[in-house]
C-alpha cells in the first residue's frame, strides 16, 4: 500500500481528478498549501511598495492506493498536471503500513 502526495498547480485539480477517476480511483484528499521550489515567487506592488511573494499557492492531493494501482496513478497525475513550465509541482510516494475503514472496520487494501 502506498501513499501518493502530489503538489500541483491549483488550476490543474480538475484534470488530475478526472484522470484518476478514469483509473477507477475514487478517493483523495485535497489541501490548499503554499510553498516554493525552483520556481521563484512574484512581486506585488501596492502604492509603490514592492513585496516579494516567495510562497505560491499550490494544491496538495493525497491518496492511498494498493501497490498494483500506484504506477498508473502516478503517470496519470503527471500527464494531467503537466504544463511544461516551471512550477508544475512534484509527486512523492511513500509506503503505508495499514489502513482501516472506520464505518466497517475493513482492513488493508480493501479499506482504501
Partner 1 sequence: MTTSARIGCRLLSVCWLLVLIIGLGNTAVAAAQLEPAPTTNSVAPINSGDNAWLLASTALVLMMTAPGLVLFYGGLVRSKNVLSTMMHSLILMAVISTLWMVFGYSVAFGSGNAFFGNPLTHLFLKGVGGTPNPAYAATVPAESFMLFQMMFAIITPALISGAVAERVRFKAYLLFIVLWTTVVYLPLCHMMWGQGGLFNWAIGGKIPVLDFAGGTVVHISSGVSALVFALVIGKRSGFPREPMMPHNVVLSLIGAGLLWVGWFGFNAGSALNAGALATSAFAATHFSAAAAALSWTCAEWYLKGKPSVLGAASGMVAGLATITPASGFVSVPAAFGIGLVAGVVCYLAVTKLKAAFGYDDSLDVFGVHGVGSTVGMLMLGFLASAEVNPLIGTTFQKNGVVVSLAGGMHQFWNQLAGVGATVALAAIATFLILKLVDASVGLRVDQEDESAGLDLSQHGERAYNE
- Give the footprint of partner 1 on this chain (CB under 8 A): 44-49, 51, 53
Nearer to partner 1 (CB atom), residue 42 or residue 90: 42
Least separation in angstroms between residue 52's CB and partner 1 is 8
CA 82 – CA 95 distance, rounded (Å): 25
d(CA 26, CA 57): 25
The least CB distance from residue 44 to partner 1, in Å, is 7
Is 47 or 85 the residue whose CB approaches partner 1 more closely? 47
Closer to partner 1 by Cβ: residue 48 or 84: 48
As a whole number of angstroms, the distance between CA 26 and CA 42 comes to: 35
Q: What is the dihedral of CA 42, 44, 49, 55, to 10 degrees?
A: -50
Nearest approach, Cβ of 79 to partner 1 (angstroms)? 34
**Shortest spacing between CB 51 and partner 1, in angstroms:** 4
Torsions phi, psi for 3 (to 5 deg): -105, 130
Amino acid at each position: 500500500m502506498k501513499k501518493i502526495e502530489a503538489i500541483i498547480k491549483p488550476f490543474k485539480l480538475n484534470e488530475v481528478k478526472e484522470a484518476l477517476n478514469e483509473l477507477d480511483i475514487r478517493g483523495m484528499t485535497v489541501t490548499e498549501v503554499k510553498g516554493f521550489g525552483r520556481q521563484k515567487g512574484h512581486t506585488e506592488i501596492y502604492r509603490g511598495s514592492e513585496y516579494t511573494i516567495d510562497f505560491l499557492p499550490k494544491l496538495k492531493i493525497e491518496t492511498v492506493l494498493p501497490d498494483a494501482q500506484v504506477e498508473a496513478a502516478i503517470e496519470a497525475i503527471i500527464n494531467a498536471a503537466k504544463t511544461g513550465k516551471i512550477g508544475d509541482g512534484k509527486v512523492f510516494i511513500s509506503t503505508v503500513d495499514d489502513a482501516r475503514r472506520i464505518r466497517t472496520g475493513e482492513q488493508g487494501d480493501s479499506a482504501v
